[in-house]
Amino acid sequence: METAEFIRILEREGRSLASAAERAGTDAKVPTCPQWQVRDLLRHTGVVHRWATAFVAEGHTAFRPMADEPALDGEELLAWFRSGHRRLVDTLDSAAPDVECWHFLPAPSPLAFWARRQAHETAVHRFDAEAARGGTHGEIARDFAAELGPDFAADGIDELLRGFHARAKSGARSAEPRVLRVRAGDTDGAVWTVRLSEEPPAAERGEQGPADCEVSGPAADLYLALWNRLPFPRVTGDASVAELWRQRSAVD
């Protein structure tokens, strides 16, 4: 996917997140993040948007911590979120393709990284905001899949497996070596082999040898399941491997 596509998805998903949050109300519980209410979701995502904007807009080439979350609520919080989201989109849209700044996963360029990362960050949290409005997760997931499409969801799976969990801080580890296969049936070539051990997971594209467990289904459902928002659509083989992922794969 191209950087411009990610920016457009980020723009749409941020608007949808704010609309869903407004309809749910900031007091509403977020069932996909049980420790949060909608106000926590808006504060967190709004701070992340501003954090990302600063790297691109100000050209910071070293890590800088996120700011504290604001003590805003209600209409003020929604306005604050929308303002930060708008500035992030505008910053990415207007940035030079060769802008230099800090980023934390491999990417063709810093701009490509931040556009992709913020599109996925915002999409997953938009699902959280929709869940806070009520309705079954299955219904919400169907709408989510229809809007985002399988290619974007498959890209998000790839970012998670080969990006986030390749880092030393990944907690998805196993004392006994195990192999998890991830297969998105609605996207050509969307198959991953994930080797779990006491080291960070090693994920490769394709069927690389036998697997102890396979999780499969539509790309969007797998995307949300791997981010622990939904159950896995289908599990074959040793289900304890899928459960190990669910218990240990939270991303900091």
pTM of this structure: 0.95
**Please, what are the domains in the chain?**
3-134 (1.20.120), 170-248 (3.30.1050.10)
The overall average pLDDT reported for the chain is 95
Q: Dump pLDDT digits (tens) for 117-171.
A: 999 999 999 999 999 998 777 788 888 888 889 999 999 999 999 999 999 999 9
Are 166 and 172 contacting, i.e. CB atoms less than 8 angstroms apart? Answer: no
Q: Which residue type sits at 18?
A: A
**Confidence at residue 65, expressed as pLDDT on a 0 to 100 scale:** 97
Confidence of residue 252 (pLDDT cuts 50, 70, 90): low
Are 157 and 170 contacting, i.e. CB atoms less than 8 angstroms apart? Answer: no
Instruction: Give the dihedral sign, CA 159/160/161/167.
Output: positive
Please state, in angstroms and rounded to a whole number, the distance separating the CA atoms of residues 96 and 79: 28
**What does each C-alpha distance from 218 to 34, 67, 141 come to in angstroms?**
25, 37, 11
3-class SS at 229?
coil
